[in-house]
Amino acid sequence: MEFVKRFARQTFIYEIAERFRARKSAKQWTPHDQEMANFYSQFLAPGDVCFDVGANFGNRAKIFLRLGATVVAVEPQNKCVRVLKSMYGENNRLIIIQKALGALEGSAELMISRASTISSLSQEWVDAVKRSGRFSEYSWDKKKIVNVTTLNKLIAEHGVPSFIKIDVEGFEYEVIKGLSQPVITICFEFTPELIETTIRCIEHLHSLGGISLNYSLGETMKMGLDKWVNPKPESVTRFC
């Protein structure tokens, strides 16, 4: 059975199944969805603006919309944008930006995997996870040039968000470098293969103003620390 699963992941069958699961998920509200809503309600209230960077098929946008936020969903992959538009496109609180984010406006090469969740703009990250073997059954055999904008540009167009979620497979630091002002809460993915990238993200955010820190592992929807680590009393930004 494991062999069959591995084989399917390397064929078009996986992409079809992935889109099917995404559409099915968009129509349901599961206990885990409620757990996510409870978790993110710490940071979002009705009427808030939220940036969902690396929106993929919208598993987080779905939650943010349920919480009453206006969601700017940033996603460069065609297949993901098609699902976002078909499942959530009639919601006037969802704004879809078919671009990637980076430090500067322009273009960049996206390395595309059959598993859309691990497509990446970071060659460093792809090399690191290949070495670690964490995604050994996948490859990044397609590439595409995508348009790139910045957090600063999104803020100029849509206002300062209450919450930014960033999940871009190793490109988080480049995204965060495109921000030159503090926001209330930023949540970005970190991985063991590139923990130094996480440190650079924190350093850049700290340069914008005092920050307090916490973390959450995987899909636990729980904070790892009982209290936020507050390096300076004038903290204005939180990281989870």
- The answer to whether residue 89 scores a pLDDT higher than 90 is no
- The answer to whether residue 20 scores a pLDDT higher than 90 is no
Condensed to tens digits (0 to 9), the pLDDT of residues 205-225 reads 999 988 999 999 999 999 999
Least confident of 31-45, 100-114, 154-168, 220-234: 220-234
120, 126 in Cβ contact below 8 A?
A: yes
pLDDT band for 3, please (50, 70, 90 cuts).
very low
Domain that holds residue 226: 2-239
Q: What is the pLDDT of residue 202?
A: 93
Task: State the average pLDDT over residues 79-99.
Answer: 95
pTM recorded for the entire structure: 0.89
**CATH for 128:** 3.40.50.150
Q: Which residue has the tokens 């995997």?
A: 113
- DSSP one-letter code for 37: H
Q: What is the pLDDT of residue 10?
A: 55
Task: State the average pLDDT over residues 77-92.
Answer: 94
- DSSP one-letter code for 117: G
Which of 34, 66, 38 minimizes the C-alpha distance to 50?
Answer: 66
* Number of domains, the chain: 1
Q: What is the pLDDT of residue 240?
A: 63
Round the average pLDDT of the chain to a whole number and report it: 90
DSSP-derived pairing of the beta strands 142-149 and 106-112: antiparallel
